[in-house]
Amino acid sequence: MSRTSLLLTDLYELNMLQAYQEAGMAETAVFEFFVRKLPPGRNFLVAAGLEQVVAFLESAAFTDEEIGWLATQPGFSLPFLDSLFALRFTGDVDAMPEGTIFFPDEPILRVAAPLPEAQLFETRIINLLHFQTVVASKASRMVLAAGPMKLADFGLRRAHGAEAGLLAARASYLAGFAGSATVLAAQRFGVPASGTMAHSFIQAHDDEALAFEHFARSRHEGVVLLIDTYDTEQAARKVVELAPRLAAEGHDLKGVRIDSGDLADHARRVRAILDAGGLQRVQIFASGGLDEWALRRLVRAGAPIDACGVGTSLSTSEDAPALDCAYKLQAYAGQAKRKRSEGKATWPGRKQVYRRHDAGGIMAGDLLTLADDRAPGEALLRPVMRGGQRLGPFPRLDEVRAHAAAERDRLPKRLRSLEPEAPYPVAVSPALRRLTAEVDRAAEATPA
């Protein structure tokens, strides 16, 4: 990602930063990012966005121009503005690997750093983790629903901004999509590029068959023709007539795409036409307003569709576009802290999540406990940064994708359903409950 201005933040972060400085509050603070509850109908979430968070923290710095602009704004002192020139992230980060499945109240990222640093970077950390986690979680549901059908991200044009479209391509590939139509995602992240043609290309020609021929001859391999501009089945017959000439010229006809109507019915008719014409190897690609429910209907109907493109419902996570997530202070200057607001209370202290699996490798339950309270199972939060530096290279995106696939395979079968199921068991350890009670007693004993 390109550099992010540190002015891309909430004003209250800068207000607090100056107040911390003036009060001499710069001891180590521990913040954790977590989700309070699952969106309606969801059974799990998929962690994503960590690599972008770390890249941001490594390079975060105010420019002279940014500090100069702040000097024109009311409320900021010269000593505070001067301090911004040297501000860098010098803290530690522990996090769940991207692609890890997680549940409410489980921190997926923990920051331990001098209080001003840990506070200042809150907004961008939430921004990066939240969006990619939303999309990866949505995409994972689609992958489960699609079964053997491959999926491609077609959501850039209706995403909420350029960065959202680009990161949606990354997050969906991480979660199991086969590729994306977003070209920059191929260049920047190595996401396989996937694309055909638009209806406008067909309409620009006076003859549909000629449009097919022009497009196919411009590409020697991976040719996919859009056949539903006028009459889908008639267009399929034109493809059958054209295919021998293209093959003789060395052009590889990979598939046809259907973008409208009853996709299952059209796919059956087109499949019969292609097979009768000797094009058994030509695949059928479908698109057009698809979500996980539509994908499941296609699978259950036995539609002969090999792959689907998914757009708006993915890049906007249409049914659940936001998570009830938070980045909260859990300790400062060696003392555990806890928010007790009604409906938004937090568990205090620096925490860890341990996951148990049954004999078959299926997730059997998680334990939320303190970081120094060792428990049976797999510790999910792992060291990522120390002293402001990453500990090593991040895994390649295809490796993260493999991890996400393995996580899906370890989900209890009932949680793979699109329908809401009984919650996955996440227990809170006695040690964490004791600390919570101690923090509450101390707060209640403090004079108002």
pLDDT of residue 446: 73
pLDDT of residue 160: 96
Task: Indicate the DSSP class of residue 380.
Answer: -
User: Counting Cβ atoms within 10 Å, is residue 74 exposed (0-12), middle (13-18) or buried (19+)?
Assistant: exposed
Write down the residue that tokens 């995403």 correspond to.
Answer: 159
pLDDT of residue 251: 86
pTM: 0.95
pLDDT of residue 448: 59
Contact between 439 and 348 (Cβ < 8 Å): yes
pLDDT in tens, the chain (448 residues): 568 999 999 999 999 999 999 999 999 999 999 999 999 999 999 999 999 999 999 999 999 999 999 999 999 999 999 999 999 999 999 999 999 999 999 999 999 999 999 999 999 999 999 999 999 999 999 999 999 999 999 999 999 999 999 999 999 999 999 999 999 999 999 999 998 899 999 999 999 999 999 999 998 678 999 999 999 999 999 999 999 999 888 888 999 999 999 999 999 999 999 999 999 999 999 999 999 999 999 999 999 999 999 999 999 999 999 999 999 999 999 999 999 998 889 999 999 999 999 999 999 999 999 999 999 999 999 999 999 999 999 999 999 999 999 999 999 999 999 999 999 999 999 999 999 999 999 888 876 5
pLDDT of residue 445: 81
Contact between 340 and 389 (Cβ < 8 Å): no
Return d(Cα 344, Cα 5) in angstroms, integer. Answer: 30
Angle between helices 397-410 and 162-174 (to 10 degrees): 60
pLDDT of residue 444: 84
